[in-house]
A and B are shown apart, each in its own frame.
Chain A
Amino acid sequence: MTQMALVIDLNVCVGCHACVTSCKEWNTSGEAGSLADVHPYEDDPSGTFFNRVQTYEAGVFPMTDTIHFPKSCLHCEDPPCVPVCPTGASYKRKSDGIVLVDYDKCIGCKYCAWACPYGARELDEGRKEMTKCTLCADRIDNEALPERDRKPACVLACPTSARLFGDIHDPQSEVSRAISERGGYQLMPEWDTKPSNHYLPRVTTASSCGCGSDSACGSAASGAQSASLEAKLERGEIALAGLAVRR
């Protein structure tokens, strides 16, 4: 059984919010109807977003890590929001495991939002219907689009490729390999909702070049050759970043 999902690499997310704006742009323009933007240019703007990029800080200054953390519906394999829906508007699509809302059946009772521990659902203030990330269900199978564009808008927008999209039930897929090789994890595992979206944890990597450490830095540390600035200029090997750090 297919289970489409996002795998988000926390190593490379730079917190630019491109996925947030591209998500809003695509989903407010789609056939399902617009997403609210109440008082957009006033003191108290408010609106519906399916995706947010949050920022967390781990550690105590000065040894802190700043982690940008995109959050959208996790398309749980056992979604607590689906069985509680009184009308059947909330459902998990059998063909690809995406959790969707049939907006025409939604009565706007908000019970599904209460039943989601992640806060992934938002009641649209204008439409008075529950809305949520659809993994761009109107893009990923859309034959009117070139094949390379059949991905969620957020994935296409990400400038650092922090968002991978694919079938986590296919062991050969890029997302499954990323999860197994890089320790992909789920959010709030304590509630046993089995989120499909996974996150790739921060990994501390040894610096490889131009980082101010004394170890190998390209050919500059090969020893046999002169490490003087002039000699490197001769060879056309100026490592500017390394130079900046040394200064």
Chain B
Amino acid sequence: MRPAFSVIFLTTLCGAAQGLLLTLVALEATARLAAGVAVPSAFYVVGAALAVVLGALGLLASFFHLGHPERAWRAIAMWRTSWLSRECIALPAFLSLTTAYGLAHWLGWGDTLAIGLIAGAASIVLFVCTAMIYACLRFLQEWASPLTLVNFALLGCASGCTLATAYAAWLAPALVVILAPCACVLTLAGCASRLAALMRNARLKPKSTVQSATGIRHGKVEQKSRGFTASAFNTREFFHGQNAGTLRAIKAGFMTAAFAAPFVLTGVGALAPRASAAALVLGAAFVIQYVGLIAERWFFFADAAHPQNIYYQRAS
């Protein structure tokens, strides 16, 4: 598949926003249960604001994917059958609830944790909707796996928690010692599940062949002409057009930037949470991880071999 940057930004930005919100809610729940964890309410307000900004940017990016953005409101219609439609409902719901969560902390409304738990549930629902858009396409074998859902959720949570650690270094350095280990564990878990997906996909055997695609019963069938020499939607949308070397470089790049580098930087930052350099190192950890996740999502698209490509192998 050709990676769609609008969708790459949508899923990575919203993933970080969802992970950040879940981190905030988990932190608040921990603070309620365990004595000795003092969280300033400004930490929640700033976190919720960051989550809303990231999520809104993701929503904005999604509009660039559409041929007719002015008709986007119609996308909520088919929530009974379409995961994309469900995502179009879940995303604004997540943004509204996260806004409510931030406002509740800012204005001191009643039970903030209850609002947070509802927003957290919306965040999880949104992870499911987003991942299922890809995982439900059974013939895109690279995507049709529970690992797609696990990866979307873990990578979103990892980047959200890394972001929470980074701005905790500015706002509430005492929290860094709690958040940094969580970010490291989530990054490690994301790395493990992404590696599992890479290994699974490397072993996949395509179910469709040129024989099944054409029904020609012969051991050796080869396309001689796809029927046209020019380009077309089918030759642009479903081919990433990069060579194997570029793919390998991007894979190595995201394994380093999304997992190894932020793991090390977050660990280093946590050693001296009150140093001003720690804030910079932790901030860099988030930025590098986010760039790595853009590469990761790019690879996620490029890695998927669409069976329609069997029909578009040669111009003549």
Chain A residues within 8 Å of B, Cβ to Cβ: 17, 20, 44-49, 52-60, 65-67, 69, 71, 80, 83-89, 105-111, 113-119, 122-123, 125, 127-129, 185-191, 199, 201-202
Cβ of B26 to closest chain A Cβ, rounded Å: 31
Within 8 Å CB of B214, what residues of A?
56, 67, 69, 187
State whether B137 touches A114 (Cβ < 8 A). yes
State whether A54 touches B82 (Cβ < 8 A). no
Given contacts A71-B311, A109-B65, A111-B133, whether A123 and B233 have CB atoms under 8 Å apart is yes
State whether A107 touches B218 (Cβ < 8 A). no
Q: Which residue of A lies closest to B238 (CB)?
A: A119
Chain A-chain B contacts (Cβ-Cβ < 8 Å), number: 174
Question: Which among A116, A118, A189 has the greatest number of chain B C-beta atoms within 10 A?
Answer: A118
Q: Is B8 an interface residue (CB 8 A)?
A: no
Cβ of B273 to closest chain A Cβ, rounded Å: 44
State whether B227 touches A58 (Cβ < 8 A). no
15 contacts between A and B (CB under 8 A): A54-B311, A57-B222, A59-B220, A71-B311, A83-B82, A86-B82, A86-B85, A89-B74, A114-B306, A119-B234, A125-B233, A186-B215, A187-B213, A187-B215, A191-B138
The listed residue (B66, B218, B231) touching A44 by CB distance below 8 A is: B231
State whether A109 touches B228 (Cβ < 8 A). no
Q: Is B312 an interface residue (CB 8 A)?
A: yes
Distance in angstroms between the alpha carbons of A66 and B306 in the assembled complex: 25
Q: Is B208 an interface residue (CB 8 A)?
A: yes
Within 8 Å CB of B77, what residues of A?
86-88
Within 8 Å CB of A189, what residues of B?
212
Question: Which among A106, A116, A119 has the greatest number of chain B C-beta atoms within 10 A?
Answer: A119
State whether A119 touches B220 (Cβ < 8 A). no
Distance in angstroms between the alpha carbons of A39 and B242 in the assembled complex: 25
Distance in angstroms between the alpha carbons of A187 and B139 in the assembled complex: 14
